[in-house]
A = this chain, B = another copy of it.
């Protein structure tokens, strides 16, 4: 096989077009086997095989620099830049991450996992090159789905200001993760339909040169186009049309389902694991569908990840105009929600913890200064969530919990979660975020009668003495376990508290603990710095009560083992009980 002999771009350059076509086929076979066993991003990589080969054939990486947007389509690039073993041999599958990484190769220039960043980063590489008086090409490779993000649009606008080489390869497969949303996609369609000849052209309107390639899975056409723009002395867009999932029938037919895959049977495409069963996503979907049916002013918003809360294509259709996908555009999603709430609607925006980071200013300015009653469901904010360094769910508490006016809630069970969601949708006073618990769904079947409108009122679940355990959200069960162990080890029955509110301190309750408690411990599923526990430490700073904060160290973890991380951070019940014993 050719692929076995590709140790770097120089080996690609030795091949002719027929050989490169065979190579493409080998690469797809290799990807299929790996993805069927290991899971990963399917559609984006299957579509980009030919373009990646052509890039390495025409350009001189690493002197010429490629920046892959999201970089979930960089598997073919890794295969051609000395990392083929991680795709060919199962024992090496975990040698590489699913994203570009300078730690792996000189052909990768950034660790990237969020969308819409490539053009901006590439502009930076180009500007750095020009400041130093060097030469070389810089190529940003961005999918059509990523174009709707503010950072990408800002950078497309800025790119025209560069007076040196920059190539923006727009990989248009007419799909985001789900279908695209937004007016610019009408223009991409027009460009596809006119062979790139339409006068009205988004990229030209942004001041950029433009070139069109009708078949972006044809190596010869791609090579011709790349040669034509190589060493261009000004920014230029190359718009190529590719097929997402190309070469694997199920992925060609069901593009959304095959954007990302878990391990599956390569013959049938059926997943190896049973993915059904009740989870926080499915109960959210059920709850919201009923809510929307009962009240036409309720609506659900997503920014390009509709399945984050279970909304499949079928369910989106059923929800009709009450389901809003703004495309990858988190800033717009938050401001839109604020506007809907300001005009009497009841918006619920569902978003992953790692992506809510993209809307800090909108949450602060558009939403919280205006105190509009929109709801944000923050999903996968947990050590049990995604574990790539670019997709961690460990920072949403410090980011959100210190914004004035926001009520950030941490449910510990299914029942609390749904009660909070219902309260939040119906109230008119506060912007509310709800941290969907990480890990397995916990259900105790108990009716929740708490009035969440009485802000910052914690609940004593079990009254004890000497030690109080405040277990936040998904770490409440850990608090229960730790309390039991503390009792076992010391004979002391700790008070067990469910705080519910991340954004505020129950000063009355905390004050009352001083009477018969010496130690208060806090547990939170995120980094400690700027988080929940530190607020409790500050409260007791001038008192004799000792406070121990349990949570994660401020650092960027990458592809971690949960149990190891918990242990490293003293987050097993055993460790917590031991630490408490030491200060008692």
Contacts and interface: CB of A to CB of B under 8 A. Distances in A.
Nearest to A161: B181
Interface in A513-539: 527-531, 533-535, 537-538
Residue of A206, A547, A549 ringed by the most chain B CB atoms within 10 A? A206
A contact residues, range: 35 or more
Given A110-B370, A123-B339, A336-B124, A158 B541 contact: no
B157 A342 contact: no
A182 B201 contact: no
A344 interface: yes
Contact of A530 (B124, B126, B324, B398): B398
Nearest to A329: B154
Contacts of A384: none
A256 interface: no
A15 interface: no
Interface stretch (A45-53, A358-366, A564-572): A358-366
Given A208-B183, A335-B120, A365 B345 contact: no
Contact of A297 (B132, B336, B533, B546): B132
Contacts of A122: 339
A559 to B, nearest CB: 13
A143 interface: no
A114 B361 contact: yes
A322 interface: yes
A343 interface: yes
Interface in A194-213: 199-202, 204-208
Interface string A336-374: 111111111101000000010110111011101110000
B340 A127 contact: yes
A526 to B, nearest CB: 10
Interface stretch (A220-228, A279-287, A399-407): A399-407
B205 A205 contact: yes
Nearest to A528: B538
A150 B154 contact: yes
A120 B156 contact: no
Contacts of A324: 127, 161
A113 B369 CA distance: 10
Given A148-B157, A205-B205, A207-B184, A369 B389 contact: yes
Interface in A404-457: 404-405
A84 interface: no
A133 B322 CA distance: 12
Given A153-B150, A182-B207, A402-B398, A120 B343 contact: no
A538 B534 contact: yes
Given A151-B335, A158-B326, A538-B528, A204 B200 contact: yes
A127 B338 CA distance: 11
A331 interface: yes
A446 to B, nearest CB: 31
A187 B200 CA distance: 11
Given A324-B127, A530-B534, A335 B117 contact: yes
17 contacts: A111-B370, A117-B335, A121-B342, A124-B335, A131-B296, A131-B297, A131-B322, A161-B182, A163-B321, A187-B206, A187-B207, A202-B202, A355-B361, A357-B364, A364-B395, A534-B534, A538-B549
Interchain residue pairs A-B with the least CB separation, the first 4:
A124-B339, A150-B150, A183-B207, A160-B183
